[in-house]
Amino acid sequence: MTKLQQYLILAAVIIIGFMFLNKNESSLKSKQAKKISEEVVVLSNFEDPKVWGISPEHGFSIRVTKKHSTQGKYSLEVKFPQKDYPSINTKKLEQNWGDYEYLLLDVFNPQDESIDFRIRLDDLSKKRVNIPYRLEPGANVIKIAKSQIAAKINAEKIRFVVFYLNDPRKRLTLYFDNLRLEKSGLIQNIETKLKNKDTVQTQASAQPLPLRKAVDLPSKPVLTQGELKVALAKLKDEKEKVVFISSGIPFARGQLKAINDFVITDTNGQEIPIAAKVLARWPQDQSIRSVLVQFQYPIEAIYEYVLFRWGVARTTKDLDIVEPRWQYPEGVVVMPAEWLCSSEVTGEQVPLGIGYFYDKYDKKILNNFEKVKNKPWTGKLTVDGFYSTPHVFYQLYARSGELNYFLAARKELLHYRDTQLILDGENRGRSTQGPKGRYVYVQAMMDDYLLTGDPKSLEVARYMAEYLKNYFPPEKAFYPKGAEYFWTERTAAFPFLGIITYYELTQDKEYLKLADEYMENLYKMQMQYPERGGFIHNLYAHDPEEGARKDEYGGSPFMTGLLLESIIKYHKITKSEKAADSIFRVVDWLINEGLVADGDSFKYMTADKYLNTDGDPDVNLLVVHGLGYAYRLSGYQNEEYIKVGQKVFNRGVKDGFVAKRKHFNQNFRNSGHYLAYVADGLEQLQVLKPLAEQDEERTIENVLFFEGFEYSLGKFKGMGDAALDLDKDDVYLNGNSFHIKSKFQKSTLSAGFLLENWNMDDFSRINFAYKIPSETPVGMLVITQFGDSICIGGTSRYQCGRTQAKEEFKLIDDGQWHEANFDVRLAVRSVLPQLKSLTGFQYFTNGNATEHDEFWIDDFKIRRE
């Protein structure tokens, strides 16, 4: 045989071998891919274990079994070893998704615990995406939408799929079956007969999520009767001692029903004649939101003090209102931070300096405010006031109750309103910077109107709302799936926010209808990608220079944070179920697609270009409020929201740039709301307060109320004449104590809380630790179910000024730590024998504390006998 003949025979053998292998592989694939209907094609029913590869770790066991089969005769039983990332893969199941929209897999978890399971998909260009799932005990259906991965890989050309465990701590067994493609994705629940138990279980598919409703939390109690010492500030250096005071005084929802139900007196109790006008009402219950108050009062230097009492009718005849068309009045009322925050005049807030978990956040504000405030105006809104300098400064006034923040906010508001907005003609209400909605800040006008009563701010708010209505009608909020034109979350954010804010201020139903339409279109847009949850749009159209491909669809986390402002405000006003579900979905999208790998910062956008970046911490504080509100909506049960929220909040505080006006505003325009949203849920977070630290006495059965002051002041609030903070140095046992210090002469040195359903016969004992320096007047009072106050004791120098119990409890003022432990019924029923319930507790002395008086409290509890 010649060499040529030998070569020809060898070539023939090789060709026949390749033909045989290809035939077998095609046969194998044809056996695995089985078309069930036009809607479903089965990629693998796991009848043959040979098509599955396994990762190189030792300890794998893989076999077919009749256990937990859901399609065909068998399922695939896989015993995963205790290794880093043990996996099986489908390298022999290459499949084009074509017209199919969903990849599904049935997985049975026989363990009694949930398992951290991952799916990795690779395309032919070797791009990949990893998707985490939590496998619950029993039957699970995993469902992945093509749209969910389209921004990361080419779903039309999937090369293989890998199923793996994330660092299992022990050997685990799973059963796989029915790997398939579906077109419609309409199968939301699948009933599977579990052959080993002859029972039927309903498997909820992992995607898309069902409609999630907000947990209905109880409303915070509102004090409808009380007394407050407030400051009057003289703004003009007039020779006349008598100053004309004019201010808007805001109220919490439900706090004031009638305009004549408050009184202003001098410190001797003499009623002062006033003029009063309702500026706005709360849309939810029509209670009064803000009142313009005017009166004359002598002020010698800069400040003087009066008593403000609400829940009490005036006896003097009201004066006539003077329309406040000035830039600044002669004098103003400076309400304390606790009052302003509880009124939500600039949205939900907490006072500066309460709660050390955001101590660095507050210090960052204080350290940079003066620098930002003193920067000269350039005439360009993008430099002077982007993201609304007046709105940010008014929030700082609400959190501080300090005059300098109010004056700075009013100055910025006048500059913005009178020089950077068009106030006549066809473009009335538009910014001089340009036609974009991002320059139109209705919120700033509302802040100003509620706090000053300036009618021009209300008028300009109307111009702005009309402009937004015409410039960005609600239908523009919807972005069709697959569209390629320009759209961003910010484009919708400011028009929607302006419209719903104007409704909140005026209750003009035309604007509520527009807001309803905005919400409907945004939700419809989300539901085009229900498994992702974000406002998915073409990222290349943002700006080609930002680096996205033409076929990339995703979103911008920081612009989503802006849009969440409007959706949250809409939800707070309407309690819309769609708005609640929208918030849950978009926050899940922020976590799943918007976070960088370290989980402490958000990407600039979710394009591939930003996959391996460290994120942009400058925008963290613009987004975090959404996580806080979702945490509240979950009834403070979703710990992932608060854990991620705390992580990105801390990174934003640490690394966010705030030295310029735009960046200062960007960081602080809504992050203060986050503090308020999470405040009531912090005690439920185990990473902040481990359950192991709670003794038996603190259990729900034995304790009505407990505050250890470890991370915040909890429900304790002040009345404005005392500074409240946490003290890390002077504590009773460990952790922190609650420090109360007088701000000025004749202070009430007050701090307390409100409760619902405090039945004294069920919960009669009050315990707390305290440290009171010598001669410090510290009293205690309780509030009855009828709103009356009863003094129940204190130090030797405290003054009551209210109904005084015949049986009082003594507090020791020797500068040492002591424990108080008493039965509150003894004091209360010494004057009201039949009284059953209380609604609050307060430390209080009737205006005889000096400027530097202070005391400390720790481990306050109300418990059973």
The answer, yes or no, to whether residue 551 has pLDDT greater than 60, is yes
The residues with which 723 forms a beta bridge, in sequence order, are: 741
The dihedral through the CA atoms of 612, 613, 619, 621 has a sign that is positive
Please list, in sequence order, all residues whose beta carbon lies within 8 angstroms of the beta carbon of residue 338, skipping any fewer than 6 positions away: 351, 401, 717, 718, 719, 720, 724
4 or 501, which is more confident: 501
The answer, yes or no, to whether residue 711 has pLDDT greater than 90, is no
The answer, yes or no, to whether residue 681 has pLDDT greater than 60, is yes
pLDDT at residue 694, as a whole number? 39
Q: Which amino acid is at 402?
A: E
The answer, yes or no, to whether residue 89 has pLDDT greater than 90, is no
> Dihedral through CA 442, CA 447, CA 448, CA 454, nearest 10?
80
In percent, the amount of the chain with pLDDT more than 70 equals 86
pLDDT digits (tens, 9 = 90+) for 683-699: 555 434 433 333 333 34
Considering only CA atoms, which of 71, 76, 54, 28 is closest in space to residue 180?
71
pLDDT digits (tens, 9 = 90+) for 583-595: 999 999 999 999 9
> Dihedral through CA 691, CA 696, CA 697, CA 702, nearest 10?
100
pLDDT at residue 202, as a whole number? 30
The residues with which 726 forms a beta bridge, in sequence order, are: 738
In the block, which residue shows the tokens 């309409």?
186
> Dihedral through CA 639, CA 642, CA 644, CA 647, nearest 10?
-130
The answer, yes or no, to whether residue 204 has pLDDT greater than 60, is no
Round to whole Å and give the CA distance between 755 and 638: 25
Please report, for residues 110, 143, 190, 649, 810, the alpha-carbon distance to residue 203 in angstroms, rounded to integers and kept in the order given.
14, 12, 6, 36, 62
pLDDT at residue 37, as a whole number? 52
**Where are any strands of DSSP class E within 110-171?**
115-123, 128-135, 138-145, 158-165
Q: What is the pTM of this model?
A: 0.67
Per-residue pLDDT, averaged over 757-767, amounts to 91
- Residue 94 burial (CB count, 10 A): 16
Indicate the domain borders of the chain.
1-32, 33-204, 226-335, 356-682, 696-863
- Low-confidence winner among 193-207, 487-501, 506-520, 658-672 (lowest mean pLDDT): 193-207
* 493 band by pLDDT with thresholds 50, 70 and 90: very high
Find which of 140-149, 407-416, 746-755 is predicted with most confidence, using mean pLDDT.
Answer: 407-416
SS3 for 393-416 is: HHHHHHHHCCHHHHHHHHHHHHHH
The answer, yes or no, to whether residue 335 has pLDDT greater than 90, is yes
Round to whole Å and give the CA distance between 150 and 145: 9
Enclosing H/E stretch for 291: strand 288-298
pLDDT digits (tens, 9 = 90+) for 627-647: 999 999 999 989 899 999 999
pLDDT at residue 156, as a whole number? 73
Tell me if domain 33-204 and domain 696-863 are identical in fold: yes
In percent, the amount of the chain with pLDDT more than 90 equals 58
Pick the CATH number of 356-682 from 3.40.50.300, 3.40.50.720, 3.30.420.40, 1.50.10.10: 1.50.10.10
Q: Is 325 exposed, middle or buried (0-12, 13-18, 19+ CB in 10 A)?
A: exposed
Architecture of domain 696-863: Sandwich (2.60)
The answer, yes or no, to whether residue 30 has pLDDT greater than 70, is no
The answer, yes or no, to whether residue 853 has pLDDT greater than 90, is yes
150 or 660, which is more confident: 660
* 51 band by pLDDT with thresholds 50, 70 and 90: low
Longest CA pairwise span in the chain (Å): 129
The answer, yes or no, to whether residue 1 has pLDDT greater than 60, is no
The answer, yes or no, to whether residue 353 has pLDDT greater than 90, is no
Average pLDDT of the residues of the chain: 85
The residues with which 293 forms a beta bridge, in sequence order, are: 247, 276
* 35 band by pLDDT with thresholds 50, 70 and 90: low
pLDDT at residue 693, as a whole number? 39
* 241 band by pLDDT with thresholds 50, 70 and 90: confident
- Low-confidence winner among 347-356, 484-493, 613-622 (lowest mean pLDDT): 347-356
Do residues 355 and 256 lie in contact, with contact meaning Cβ atoms separated by under 8 Å?
no
Please list, in sequence order, all residues whose beta carbon lies within 8 angstroms of the beta carbon of residue 456, skipping any fewer than 6 positions away: 325, 417
Q: Which amino acid is at 486?
A: F
Considering only CA atoms, which of 505, 554, 436 is closest in space to residue 289?
505
Per-residue pLDDT, averaged over 634-662, amounts to 93
- Parallel, antiparallel, or unpaired for β 779-784 and 765-771? unpaired
Secondary structure of the chain: what % helix, strand, coil (to 5)? 30, 25, 40
Per-residue pLDDT, averaged over 744-767, amounts to 89
The answer, yes or no, to whether residue 344 has pLDDT greater than 50, is yes
Per-residue pLDDT, averaged over 1-25, amounts to 46
Burial 542-570 (b: 16+ CB within 10 A, else e): beeeebbeeebbbbbbbbbbbbbbbbbbb
The CATH fold of domain 33-204: Jelly Rolls (2.60.120)
- Low-confidence winner among 167-171, 383-387, 626-630, 807-811 (lowest mean pLDDT): 167-171
pLDDT digits (tens, 9 = 90+) for 400-413: 999 999 999 999 99
The dihedral through the CA atoms of 445, 448, 451, 453 has a sign that is negative
823 or 711, which is more confident: 823
In the block, which residue shows the tokens 């809380």?
753
Take residue 664 and report the two structure tokens written for it: 């200062």
- Low-confidence winner among 374-388, 424-438, 609-623, 766-780 (lowest mean pLDDT): 609-623
* 465 band by pLDDT with thresholds 50, 70 and 90: very high
Round to whole Å and give the CA distance between 341 and 505: 18
pLDDT at residue 645, as a whole number? 94
The answer, yes or no, to whether residue 13 has pLDDT greater than 50, is no
Per-residue pLDDT, averaged over 349-371, amounts to 83
191 or 741, which is more confident: 741
58 or 430, which is more confident: 430
The answer, yes or no, to whether residue 556 has pLDDT greater than 90, is yes
